[in-house]
């Protein structure tokens, strides 16, 4: 792409509005900035779009959203499902409502009815709406937990899950085929509504969603017993979780729920947050301050689109609050659900726990203990959602719970994406169970470690932006693929799984075997002593991620092993 030519086109063509042109004129003397904005089109990846807000082909703006939506509209029309309509939701970020309407009016101009939430709603509620309204697809305007300068556009299909192969690549082809802005359709909102092509989603859908969540409660009597004494601090990180999370906790009977005032209402600048991500300890500063004031038992945070949950739990002995990783919080819920369903005789036939290849190895151990199948997928909750669909279509398993390391899990099948609202509800039930037994959530986590093994996991992320960054990421993957390390963190590499070639190589014998999961640019190192590490470029950000896991004999032992492994992963695997 000739970035200079494209810059001049945006600067002079009457199609683009004056605010856009003014923004571009302001960077006229900055050649590097012009190149970064126009050297490529913002990539419509396997989950949709995500990028920095601003004018340019490599930015998130109304023109990029329109083109992407036209491609999706073309795909829907070729599939012959345009009569079913599309559901649209959005979060609290800058331009989210505007992008939602731009998408809706493109669908409408293409004869596809748009069902649009009247206010910000979480990602899992969009997933639920797609199926509840019998839509052919869904669009969620969100950049999830990214910094405030980002926004994004996620695509869901009729099963309520994010698009997966081969549909993802087919839609991408249609988006790429829209090369001329003259191909992009739109219409006035009043006309779309008059023609029945733009409909605001009724609040009845919110009520139905809440009822679906309540079906996952196992012991309502324990919640009733603990409701007066359990203290919960919650922050929605200025996003979509505020209303649904507070509503579900109130309707279940939890009395002492304290919300972080500064992070309660929508704020696209995330003024009190450097990074609205529940994986970031700094994001909990205000929540932990409030927790100490209220002597809270648990501290909960949902990311801006409310599909991820982060938690801290109080340690009675020290009085300190202990951070839980996504693996820890997910497994506390999973173990409780499997144990209680099995003991009450309400476990479905052929039950399955679904995880990803970078999720804790504690999952299959717990699943085996309760005679539950543990199904592994590629990284990304869309693959867990896909399994729910396949279980039903193939009549194989019954989905019970799914989790991934990146703070996402799902109880039930009302959504086909991770759901922080149901995760909050389930976690609070586990906390109520603990309170009734006179223990803390942290005590329960330690019990699980003692019973099943001290599994601990970590992650290291390297951000590499722009053209040079993309080259570096490729070089790192190529190096690890062609000359894999034979020892990492003092642990022998037993085998290398290359999901791009679909091949597993036993590094001790040289024997090769086929992998069952789909092609993906992922390398997985099987290490001795139940340890592992994995390398993959992010699918949504200019990052390369390094995951790792160990098993120790105690908390201290597992932490020491993890630190050693992480240091060597950084030294050996993260450089060109």
Q: 248 with 424: CB under 8 angstroms?
A: yes
338 dihedral zone (left: phi>0; alpha: psi -120 to 50; beta): alpha
Q: How many CA atoms lie within 13 A of 498 on its CB side?
A: 16
| Helical pair 326-344 and 441-452, crossing angle rounded to 10 deg | 80
Asked if 268 contacts 148 with a C-beta cutoff of 8 angstroms, the reply is: yes
Measured distance CA(475)–CA(468) in Å, rounded: 10
Number of H helices, E strands in the chain: 19, 23
Residues 6+ apart with CB under 8 A from 107: 69, 73, 85, 86, 113, 114, 197
From CA 417, how far away is CA 415, in angstroms rounded? Answer: 6
Phi, psi of 392 (to 5 degrees): -70, -45
Q: How many beta carbons lie within 10 A of that of residue 149, not counting itself? A: 16
Structure tokens, 360? 């804790």
Q: What is the DSSP letter of 181?
A: G
The SS3 call for residue 52 is: strand
Q: Which of 73, 96, 144, 415 is catalytic?
A: 144
- The torsion angle over the Cα atoms of residues 62, 68, 71 and 77, rounded to 10 degrees, is -80
Buried b or exposed e, range 446-474, using 16+ CB within 10 angstroms: bebbeebbbbbbbbbebebeeeeeeebbe
Structure tokens at 465: 């932006």
212 burial via Cβ count (<10 Å: 0-12, 13-18, 19+): middle
Q: Is 202 a catalytic residue?
A: no
Q: Which residues of 529-567 are buried (b: 16+ CB within 10 A; e: fewer)?
A: eebbbbbbbbbbbbbbbbbbbbbbeeeeebeebbeebbe
Half-sphere exposure (Cβ direction) of 397: Cα atoms closer than 13 Å: 20
SS (H, E, C) 492-537: EEEEEEECCCCEEEECCCCCEEECCCCCCCCEEEEECCCEEEEEEE
211 is written with which tokens?
A: 């009822």
Active site residues: 144
């Amino acid at each position: 792409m000739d970035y200079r030519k494209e810059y001049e086109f945006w600067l002079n063509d009457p199609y683009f509005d004056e605010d856009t042109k003014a923004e571009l004129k302001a960077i006229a003397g900055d050649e590097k900035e012009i190149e970064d904005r126009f050297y490529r089109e913002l990539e419509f990846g396997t989950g949709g779009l995500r990028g920095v807000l601003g004018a340019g082909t490599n930015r998130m703006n109304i023109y990029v959203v329109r083109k992407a939506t036209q491609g999706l509209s073309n795909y829907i029309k070729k599939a012959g499902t345009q009569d079913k309509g599309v559901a649209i939701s959005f979060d609290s970020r800058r331009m989210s409502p505007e992008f939602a309407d731009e998408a809706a009016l493109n669908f409408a101009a293409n004869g596809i009815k748009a069902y649009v939430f009247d206010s910000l709603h979480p990602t899992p509620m969009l997933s639920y709406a797609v199926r509840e309204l019998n839509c052919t697809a869904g669009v969620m305007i969100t950049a999830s937990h990214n910094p405030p300068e980002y926004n994004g556009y996620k695509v869901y299909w009729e099963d309520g899950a994010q698009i997966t192969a081969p549909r993802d690549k087919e839609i991408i082809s249609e988006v790429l085929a829209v090369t001329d802005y003259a191909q992009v359709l739109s219409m006035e909102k009043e006309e779309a509504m008059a023609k029945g092509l733009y409909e605001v989603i009724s609040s009845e859908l919110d009520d139905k969603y809440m009822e679906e969540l309540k079906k996952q409660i196992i012991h309502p009597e324990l919640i009733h017993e603990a409701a007066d004494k359990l203290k919960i601090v919650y922050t929605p990180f200025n996003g979509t979780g505020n209303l649904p999370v507070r509503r579900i906790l109130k309707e279940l009977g939890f009395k002492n729920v304290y919300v972080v005032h500064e992070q309660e209402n929508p704020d696209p600048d995330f003024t009190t947050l450097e990074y609205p991500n529940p994986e970031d300890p700094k994001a909990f500063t205000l929540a932990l301050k409030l927790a100490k004031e209220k002597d809270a038992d648990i501290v909960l945070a949902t990311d801006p689109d409310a599909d991820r949950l982060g938690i801290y739990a109080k340690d009675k002995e020290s009085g300190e609050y202990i951070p839980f990783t996504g693996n820890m919080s997910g497994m506390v819920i999973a173990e409780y659900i499997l144990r209680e369903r099995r003991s009450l005789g309400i476990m479905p036939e052929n039950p399955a726990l679904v995880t990803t290849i970078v999720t804790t190895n504690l999952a299959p151990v717990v699943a085996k203990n309760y005679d539950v199948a543990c199904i592994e997928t590629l990284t990304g909750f869309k693959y867990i959602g896909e399994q729910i669909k396949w279980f039903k279509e193939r009549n194989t398993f019954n989905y019970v719970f799914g989790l991934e390391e990146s703070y996402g899990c799902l109880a039930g099948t009302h959504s086909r994406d991770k759901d922080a609202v149901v995760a909050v509800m389930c976690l609070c039930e586990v906390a109520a169970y603990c309170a009734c037994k006179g223990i803390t959530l942290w005590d329960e986590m330690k019990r699980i470690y003692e019973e099943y093994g001290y599994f601990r996991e970590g992650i290291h992320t390297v951000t590499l932006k722009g053209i040079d960054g993309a080259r570096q990421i490729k070089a790192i993957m190529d190096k690890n693929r062609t000359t894999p390390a034979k020892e990492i963190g003092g642990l022998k590499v037993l085998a290398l799984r290359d999901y791009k070639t679909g091949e597993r190589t036993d590094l001790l014998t040289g024997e090769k075997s086929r992998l069952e999961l789909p092609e993906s640019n992922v390398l997985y190192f099987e290490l001795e002593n139940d340890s592992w590490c994995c390398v993959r470029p992010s699918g949504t950000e200019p990052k390369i991620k390094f995951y790792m896991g160990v098993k120790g004999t105690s908390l201290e032992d597992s932490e020491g092993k993890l630190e050693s492994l992480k240091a060597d992963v950084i030294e050996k695997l993260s450089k060109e």
